[in-house]
Amino acid sequence: MKNIIIKLAVPLLVIIATLLVIYYAKGYRINFTDNIVVQTGILHLETQPSRANFWLSEDFTGRTPRIVSSIPAGKYTLDIWLDEYHGIKYDVEIFAERSSPLSVFLFKKDPTKEIVEEIKGEIIDIHVNKITNSALILVQKDENTEQKSYDILRYQANTRFWQLGNNPSTLFTFSTDIDSEIESFSVSTNSKNIILSITNQLEEINSQEEDGTLLAGKHLISLDTQTVLANIRDITEEEMKWSHDGETLVWKNEEGINKLNLKEPNLPTLVYTPPENSEILYYDSYTNGEIYVLLKEEEKQFISLSRVSEELEETSLIEEIHYQNEDRFLENWREKETIPYQPFTNSPQSTLFVGQPKEFLISKENQKIIFNTESAAYIYDIAEDKYVLINPYETKILDFSPNGKKVSFLSLENEKLGFFRYDKEINNYSIKLGGSYTANYINEEDCSDFLWHQNSQNIYYTCENSLYATDIKTDSNINIVRKFGENILLEGRDKVTTLVKDNDALNIIEFTIN
């Protein structure tokens, strides 16, 4: 009998041990204080720089990087601090049987400042290109009794160590008559072409002289070839747009929408003529000379979005965008700090789309279109054919994040900076779709130059010449540099550069912030 019990007990113990191992691996733990079994998860915490202190609860403290296991599922407050850096606090949720990854970028309390370049002369204009992470600088370098001379310089941020040559470099040099003034300086999205508008009350519009003097007119100039491509005096700048790839110039006139291929600048083409009794609400150009047109026809109760290809073939992208004008449908969302991800369809009988669309922004890579109205902002999923509310107030869309999973915006009525996440990160269950506000008292008059950090988690911006950073995963809003400037360029992951006018010079200043 005793042998039988032993023979039965051994496999039973093996089964029990196996089950304990399985359940232990799944995150089950015994709370001996309360005599209950709890489910646990894992926190995977990294910081830049590393070796930061953190405190999750009395039982979970340490230094980064750290994988903390056996944390009972639930919500926690995570404190992170490091000497000489701004501390930060997160509300984190630990999920049973899951790992919650969190990567944190810390900012120095006292960033190192270095003037890397000083440009002498009268600075006429500065154009910062966030796509190329560079700045074009128009500077008047000399003046005599007959002429003014100018340089167009380019400062390239985040240069590689093998990229030799001057930085800033001179891209174009020209002169004007002493009585001429530069009225405007427009730069293509790839910073390879510019338009210089020069006025002179004493002269009629002419073309470029052989000695490099630009007379009064509107000059289309290639910075790559350092040549004047054309005089485009008939194009009004209010109706002009550069394509997103910088290869096309488009504009609207009484006939319709025209485009100019910058590789053949003397051959403008009428690419779109609107139907009778219709209005072009907005248009834009992206890659390969494609034109997108938002159209409202007089007798129809909806808006349409069409695409005109390089071969001038028109395709309807969204045939009917129905909308209503009653703001009461937005009242439930206003004054809230979060905006959930709730897709809806658009139909004549029922739509949550409020306000007539006035502009759009397309992300071809993510198959998303953002529509802006006088009342709110929405994102349209091309694949799903559904809309989602981004912000229930009048909105200024800023930019898609580098990882393509969210978009930043400025809420104009309640003066807040916000973001909206429309795509989840792989294996990160702590991330929820939807939007939130990250900074208050942000208005267009005092604040500008909003820019995503490369990690797609922090947004930089300037307010009254101070540099701020906000972390979208928490409510932190850090004043990094008090006397900064207005233009932001990124120098890798740990530095930012600004351009500041100082009397008859321009200082290019670099701050080490991490």
Question: pLDDT tens, 500-513?
Answer: 988 788 999 999 99
Say yes or no to pLDDT of 205 above 80.
no
> What is the pLDDT at residue 211?
63
> What is the pLDDT at residue 31?
47
Distance in angstroms (rounded) separating the CA atoms of residues 268 and 140: 32
Q: 174 is written with which tokens? A: 């020209």
pLDDT tens digits for 206-260? 444 556 788 888 888 999 888 888 878 767 666 788 999 999 999 888 888 989 8
> Which range (5-14, 134-143, 170-179, 220-229) has the least confidence?
5-14
Computed over every residue of the chain, the mean pLDDT equals 85
> What is the pLDDT at residue 461?
94
| Total number of residues shown for the chain | 514
Assign residue 467 a region (left: φ > 0; alpha: ψ between -120 and 50; beta: otherwise). beta
Other beta carbons within 10 Å of 478: 18
All structural domains of the chain, each given as residue ranges with its CATH number in brackets, are 2-105 (2.60.40.10)
The three-class DSSP label of residue 63 is strand
Tell me what percent of the residues of the chain surpass a pLDDT of 70: 88
> What is the pLDDT at residue 131?
86
Angle (nearest 5°) at CA 172 between 166 and 175 = 130
Distance in angstroms (rounded) separating the CA atoms of residues 446 and 93: 36
> Which range (24-33, 363-372, 411-420, 489-498) has the least confidence?
24-33
Say yes or no to pLDDT of 360 above 90.
yes
Q: 107 is written with which tokens? A: 């900012």
* Helix, strand, coil percent content, the chain, rounded in steps of 5: 5, 50, 40
> What is the pLDDT at residue 443?
87
Tell me what percent of the residues of the chain surpass a pLDDT of 90: 43
Distance in angstroms (rounded) separating the CA atoms of residues 490 and 480: 14
Distance in angstroms (rounded) separating the CA atoms of residues 43 and 410: 32
Say yes or no to pLDDT of 452 above 70.
yes
pLDDT tens digits for 324-359? 888 888 988 888 888 899 999 988 877 889 999 999
pLDDT band, very low/low/confident/very high, at 143 (cuts 50, 70, 90): confident
R_g over Cα of the chain: 29
